[in-house]
Amino acid sequence: MTTPAYLKSGDKVAIVSTARKVSEAEMTPAVELLKQWGIETAFGKNLFNQLNQFAGTDEDRTQDFQDALNDPSVKAILFARGGYGTVRIIDKIDWSAFKINPKWLIGFSDVTVTHSHVQKNFGIETLHAPMAFNLPKSTNEVKQKLRQALFGEKLQYEISENIFSDINRPGECTGELVGGNLSILYSLLGSSSSIDTNGKILFLEDLDEYLYHIDRMMMALKRAGKLYKLAGLIVGGMNDMKDNKVRFNKTAEEIISEAVSEYNYPLLFGFPAGHVRNNMPLIFGRKVNLKVVEDSSLSFS
């Protein structure tokens, strides 16, 4: 795996949206935070365009992302917001400059499309972390950890008093960390952006899904061979799940646990990442060590 250059004071970060529309007022707090870190920001020229739910047309969003990838003065790209739309433009991007001059791509949720595409095709590390829209609402610890990740300081997480200790599967493993939003990973199956999970540690999170949809998606990943050769599995936030009148009657965590019950790798639930305020940064593509014990840990090499 290739690691993009870490940031230093005075560097420039571009803010672009490959998905949902945003306003300048929504971006200002993130700009102010980055300024405190000594980081200059630049908006994509189409960032505040609007077309229904999107930040402009597919062409607008493609151009902003492409310009940021091609600009050698831009050292990282912070995505503005998730929602939906990245999959509509991912195949329009020319990655030639990015492969020669990798830079940090920062986001989560719908940005899972980009994470997965880059992991599968280019072997370049990316950063699963809050976006410009979410970052100001994040905890101080999240902001501190994001700065550490971007400036090249070592990341390590300790997870104690886990409420899912009864369904965690103890063990220790090492492997590259991949994954993201379960719904997005499911939607990418069979495409050129579908990640290779063999020997990897897979991270999953999701929001606002029917419980039987979670079961459907886990069955699809399983049938596609994405689960049986994992080194380990980490599950983050599974928030605001819904059930039908005729109940599925299992939690998202129970559904996932059941889907991988025949495998023996370590399994950790309740990791603080995903659609939660405490959305801790994760370096995808980086080799990590996962220990699932009473006081579990995740450390990045």
Domain count, the chain: 2
SS (H, E, C) the chain: CECCCCCCCCCEEEEECCCECCCHHHHHHHHHHHHHCCCEEEECCCCCCCECCECCCHHHHHHHHHHHHHCCCEEEEEECCCCCCHHHCHHHCCCHHHHHCCCEEEECHHHHHHHHHHHHHCCECEEECCCCCCHHHCCHHHHHHHHHHHCCCCCEEEECCCCCCCCCECEEEEEEEEEEEHHHHHHCCCCCCCCCCCCCEEEEEEECCEHHHHHHHHHHHHHCCCCCCCCEEEEEEEECCECCCCCCCCCHHHHHHHHCCCCCCCEECCCCCCCCCCCCCEEECCEEEEEECCCEEEEEC
Answer whether residue 125 is part of any domain: yes
CATH number at 63 reads 3.40.50.10740
In a domain, 4, yes or no: no
Q: Which tens digit of pLDDT belongs to each residue from 23-40? A: 999 999 999 999 999 999
Asked whether residue 237 falls in the same domain as residue 186, the answer is yes
Please list, in sequence order, all residues whose beta carbon lies within 8 angstroms of the beta carbon of residue 15, skipping any fewer than 6 positions away. Answer: 27, 30, 31, 41, 42, 43, 44, 47, 77, 78, 79, 80, 132
Are 162 and 296 within one domain?
yes
DSSP string of 62-116? HHHHHHHHH-TTEEEEEE---SS-GGGTGGG---HHHHHS--EEEE-GGGHHHHH
In a domain, 90, yes or no: yes
Residue 7 belongs to a domain = no
Q: Is residue 82 part of a domain?
A: yes
One domain for residues 166 and 141: no
Per the structure, the complete domain to which residue 57 belongs is given by 12-150
The answer to whether residue 6 is domain-embedded is no
Check: CB of residue 202 under 8 Å from CB of residue 229. Answer: no
Domain-embedded: residue 27: yes
Does one domain contain both 98 and 229? no
Residues 145 and 170 in one domain: no
Same domain, 141 and 48: yes
Q: Based on the domain organization, do 179 and 283 belong to the same domain?
A: yes
DSSP character at residue 221: H
**HSE-CB of 166 using CA atoms within 13 angstroms:** 3
CA separation for the pair 111, 181 (Å, rounded): 9
Residues 143 and 179 in one domain: no
Q: What is the CATH number of the domain that holds 246?
A: 3.50.30.60
Asked if 96 contacts 69 with a C-beta cutoff of 8 angstroms, the reply is no
What is the amino acid identity at position 40? E
CB 85 within 8 A of CB 110: yes
In this prediction, residue 161 carries a pLDDT of 77
Question: What integer pLDDT is reported at residue 23 of this predicted model?
Answer: 98
Say yes or no: 168 and 284 in one domain: yes
Q: Which of 117, 150, 183 is the last residue of a domain?
A: 150
Per-residue pLDDT of the chain (301 residues; tens, 9 = 90+): 999 999 999 999 999 999 999 999 999 999 999 999 999 999 999 999 999 999 999 999 999 999 999 999 999 999 999 999 999 999 999 999 999 999 999 999 999 999 999 999 999 999 999 999 999 999 999 999 999 999 999 999 999 877 888 999 999 999 999 999 999 999 999 999 999 999 999 999 999 999 999 999 999 999 999 999 999 999 999 999 999 989 999 999 999 999 999 999 999 999 999 999 999 999 999 999 999 998 999 999 9
Residue 98 sits in the same domain as residue 190: no
**pLDDT on residue 203:** 98
- Show which of 134, 150, 166 is a domain's final residue: 150
Q: Which of 150, 174, 204 is the last residue of a domain?
A: 150
pLDDT of residue 165: 86
Residue 224, token pair as written in the block: 């596609």
| Residue 246 and residue 182 share a domain | yes
Question: Rounded to the nearest 5°, which phi and psi values hold at 238?
Answer: -125, 85
